[in-house]
Amino acid sequence: MPRPNSARYVALLRAVNVGGRKVTMNELKATATKLGYENARTLVASGNLVFDAKKTAPAKLEAALEAAIEKTFGLKSEVMVRDPAEWAAILKANPFPKKAKDDPAHLVCVVCKDKPDAALLATYLESFREKYDKGERLKVVGREIYIDYGDSIGQSKLILPKKVCTGTARNWNTMLKLDAMLND
């Protein structure tokens, strides 16, 4: 558990280790340690970091990590930070609990910096559904977008435009593993 006056956080990096945007998880942990964060741990190579830091507004941690990533790796990667209470609220708010239980690999949560633009999302989905609909179900709750891909995750053409929200997606299995790391 974190020391007194500190807290545990999860940080999700957007668009790393895809398209030549290389960030090794060992280097990411080292970068967090250089920032003074303790107990830095990663989960899979997609930019998931759990760490302890002085109690700080998540937005300040996001800015510090984004600057350090740009300096260390030479790339811009948006970072979304949540504390354990926020993470628990994300898990609890899941509008697709049956999918989370029965098929968590096909349930995705997009963790966004800010509340998604509902009007832009609706416009995008209308156009998307005319061309590519595979039965994906989406629901916005707070700053997150939950997506139930049904059985079509491998065939889906659903890619949310950045103008809808700056965020990054994780499947439900990863969300639960990060929750365990936050609470160990």
- Give the pLDDT band of residue 21 (cuts 50, 70, 90): low
User: Mean of the pLDDT values across residues 124-136?
Assistant: 87
Does 6-82 match 90-182 in CATH topology?
yes
Contact 87, 50 (CB under 8 A): no
Query: Which tens digit of pLDDT belongs to each residue from 99-110?
Result: 999 999 999 999
- Whether the pLDDT of residue 168 is over 80: the answer is yes
- pLDDT of res. 20: 65
**Euclidean distance between CA atoms 121 and 16, whole angstroms:** 24
The C-alpha atoms of residue 39 and residue 10 are separated, in whole angstroms, by: 12
pTM of the model: 0.92
Task: Examine the pLDDT at 140 and tell me if it is beyond 80.
Answer: yes
What pLDDT score was predicted for residue 67? 97
3-state secondary structure of 103: coil
Q: Is the pLDDT of residue 166 over 80?
A: yes
Looking at residue 19, what is its pLDDT? Answer: 63
Which has more pLDDT, 166 or 19?
166
* Whether pLDDT at 17 is above 70: no
The pLDDT score that the predictor gives to residue 169 is 93
Residue 105 is given by DSSP the state: G
Tell me the average pLDDT across 157-166. Answer: 89
Q: Where are the domains of the chain?
A: 6-82, 90-182
Q: State both tokens at 39.
A: 């107990």
The answer to whether domain 90-182 has CATH 2.70.98 is no
pLDDT at 184: 86
pLDDT at 15: 78
| CATH architecture label of 6-82 | 2-Layer Sandwich (3.30)
Mean pLDDT for 166-183 is: 95
User: Which pLDDT value is given to residue 132?
Assistant: 86
The H or E element spanning position 6 is strand 6-13
Residue corresponding to tokens 């629901």: 139
